């Protein structure tokens, strides 16, 4: 069996800047990736294809795709794209971009104006895709306080249930981060399977593996197959015929060129030719089908039974970074069954017995070195310290407020101040900020975002613990105007200090 897994994620960008980093990042990804990927899946569904792939959508991205501010901003951005197309002096570029923007506008206005949840729900109901969920706000879970880690996961699954009518049984843990003990938390939350990177399974990804003594199954990314598409040094998107992501027409922001060559200067790149690119897609589909077939054959022979191959990628690769990516997926998911290759989701693989012996899974991630250095290394020591401080501050404040309410003898009521404290805390500890700093990608923006959310929770918590309930309420309301995602988040569901968990440390085993 072959399984394609896509992980869709962006940090919360609404109301936190526009350009060069901020909402523009969301709207570009939405236009270039999410719209065409969903359209591709709808065509496959219309043609009778089911169990096409496992699609991870993080709660924080889902929140933005449903957010009224973001929906309005996206509509404005698509209109601006069409205006920019009309301003292009190259006629061929202008016509191509006008057609693209007009199609995107029409599609957004007819299929997306009620949000991403409404756009995706028919695909889930029809069994075209399996939905993978995850914890709220995308924290690097192994480094998170266990109480906040459990809360974030359960709230994330609840958020998915509210949006799509069902809670996912599978998840893509942020950054594929894992530490022993998390499998018990997964089982308690109703998670039956999750993704890790190939090296976490010592390179043997031919079957899913139950983790430690649980029934929760880990599936590993097959690196030789996945890297055929995308790797740090090679892969299909770098082909000379594909549209070049980094070369812009500076007057309009449009992308007029093809890659041409890796060492070719931007000014010397050849014009983009869609027909040439489409022919190249056909070649890369045929190549990938051959790669998958040979890998399945060799792995099945090695283990003496039918093997599983899981290729996994960030969804944003397809369309945003690699313009032709959605076209490649459309053709690939038709070509694989036509070539006699069984295609299914991770849930299919688990149900159909593509599961081997238990694995004592250790600390791991899919970051550099496959360890935790990206989120816990020297380059982000300040953020690690900040995360510890704000988590402690937040939990202490929420615990104190809840204790005071329980002491009054009445029922514990919804506390919007506590809700906002936890909301800002989860935003502050999002894995994106450390990743962006470690990779030197908009590091200043990342640090600013972490500190903005830290400041928010500090001043709300200080007012709350200082007895200024009116001020705490006012501050929580004000910060909620910018960070009002996850309205169903309820601090009453946070496990009380010292209760309900078998492990109170960082999750390790003896």
pLDDT tens for residues 15-38? 999 998 999 999 999 999 999 999
Would you say residue 410 has pLDDT above 90?
Answer: no
Going by pLDDT thresholds of 50, 70 and 90, the confidence category of residue 507 is: very low
Would you say residue 483 has pLDDT above 60?
Answer: yes
Would you say residue 502 has pLDDT above 70?
Answer: no
**Tell me, what's the pLDDT at 232?**
66
**Tell me, what's the pLDDT at 508?**
40
The string over 16-29, giving b where at least 16 C-beta atoms fall within 10 Å of a residue's C-beta and e elsewhere, is bbeeebbbbbbbbb
Going by pLDDT thresholds of 50, 70 and 90, the confidence category of residue 42 is: very high
pLDDT tens for residues 372-409? 999 999 999 999 999 999 999 999 999 999 988 877 77
Average pLDDT over residues 95-104: 97
Q: Which residue would you say has higher pLDDT here, 371 or 410?
A: 371
3-state class of 468 per DSSP? coil
3-state class of 57 per DSSP? strand
- Among 52-56, 100-104, 343-347, 504-508, the least confident range: 504-508
pLDDT tens for residues 273-320? 999 999 999 999 999 999 999 999 999 999 999 999 999 999 999 999
Question: Which residues of 179-281 form beta strands (DSSP E)?
Answer: 193-196, 209-210, 217-220
List, in order of start, the domains of the chain with CATH numbers: 2-134+172-369 (3.20.110.10), 377-493 (1.20.1430.10)
**Tell me, what's the pLDDT at 51?**
98
Whether the CB-CB separation of 102 and 85 falls below 8 Å is answered with no
Residues tagged active-site: 175, 314
Going by pLDDT thresholds of 50, 70 and 90, the confidence category of residue 217 is: very high
Would you say residue 497 has pLDDT above 90?
Answer: no
Rounded CA Rg of the chain? 23
pTM of the model: 0.95
Residue pointed to by tokens 């309205």: 487
pLDDT tens for residues 386-395? 999 999 999 9
- Among 71-75, 228-232, 454-458, 485-489, the least confident range: 228-232
Q: What is the mean pLDDT of the chain?
A: 95
**332's tokens:** 């690939």
pLDDT tens for residues 174-191? 999 999 999 999 999 999
470 strand-pairing partners: none
């Amino acid at each position: 069996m072959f399984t394609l897994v896509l992980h869709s994620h962006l940090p919360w960008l609404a109301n936190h800047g526009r350009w060069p980093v901020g909402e523009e990042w969301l709207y570009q990804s939405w236009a270039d990736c999410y719209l065409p990927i969903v359209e591709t899946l709808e065509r496959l569904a219309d043609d009778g294809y089911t169990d096409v792939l496992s699609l991870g959508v993080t709660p924080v991205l889902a929140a933005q795709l449903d957010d009224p501010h973001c929906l309005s901003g996206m509509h404005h951005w698509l209109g601006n794209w069409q205006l920019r197309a009309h301003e292009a002096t190259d006629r061929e570029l202008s016509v191509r971009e006008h057609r693209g923007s007009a199609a995107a506008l029409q599609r957004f206005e007819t299929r997306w104006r009620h949000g991403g949840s409404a756009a995706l729900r028919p695909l889930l109901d029809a069994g075209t895709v399996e939905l993978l969920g995850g914890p709220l706000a995308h924290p690097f879970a192994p480094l998170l306080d266990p109480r906040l880690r459990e809360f974030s996961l359960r709230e994330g699954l609840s958020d998915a249930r509210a949006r799509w009518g069902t809670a996912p049984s599978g998840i893509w843990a942020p950054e594929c981060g894992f530490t022993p003990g998390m499998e018990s938390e997964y089982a308690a939350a109703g998670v039956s399977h999750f993704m890790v990177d190939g090296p976490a399974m010592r390179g043997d990804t031919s079957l899913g593996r139950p983790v430690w003594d649980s029934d929760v199954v880990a599936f590993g990314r097959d690196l030789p197959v996945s890297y055929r598409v995308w790797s740090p040094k090679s892969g299909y998107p770098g082909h000379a015929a594909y549209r070049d992501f980094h070369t812009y027409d500076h007057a309009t922001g449009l992308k007029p060129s093809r890659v041409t060559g890796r060492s070719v200067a931007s000014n010397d790149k050849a014009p983009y030719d869609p027909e040439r690119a489409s022919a190249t897609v056909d070649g890369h589909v045929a190549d990938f089908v051959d790669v998958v077939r040979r890998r399945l054959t060799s792995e099945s022979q090695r283990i003496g039974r039918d093997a599983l191959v899981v290729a996994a990628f960030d969804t944003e690769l397809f369309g945003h970074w690699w313009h032709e990516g959605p076209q490649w997926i459309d053709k690939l998911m038709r070509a694989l069954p036509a070539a006699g290759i069984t295609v299914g989701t991770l849930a299919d693989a688990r149900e159909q017995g593509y599961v081997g012996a238990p694995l004592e899974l250790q600390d791991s991630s899919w970051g550099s070195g496959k360890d935790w250095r990206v989120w816990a290394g020297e380059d982000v020591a300040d953020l690690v310290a900040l995360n510890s401080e704000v988590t402690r501050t937040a939990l202490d404040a929420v615990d104190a407020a809840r204790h005071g309410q329980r002491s009054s003898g009445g029922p514990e009521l919804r506390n919007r101040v506590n809700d906002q404290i936890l909301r800002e805390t989860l935003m502050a500890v999002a894995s994106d900020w450390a990743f962006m700093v470690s990779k030197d990608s908009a590091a200043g923006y990342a640090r600013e975002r972490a500190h903005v959310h830290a400041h928010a929770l500090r001043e709300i918590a200080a007012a709350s613990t200082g007895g200024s309930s009116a001020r705490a309420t006012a501050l929580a309301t004000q910060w909620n105007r910018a960070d009002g995602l996850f309205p169903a988040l309820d601090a009453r569901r946070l496990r009380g200090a010292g209760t309900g968990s078998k492990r109170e440390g960082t999750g390790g085993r003896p």
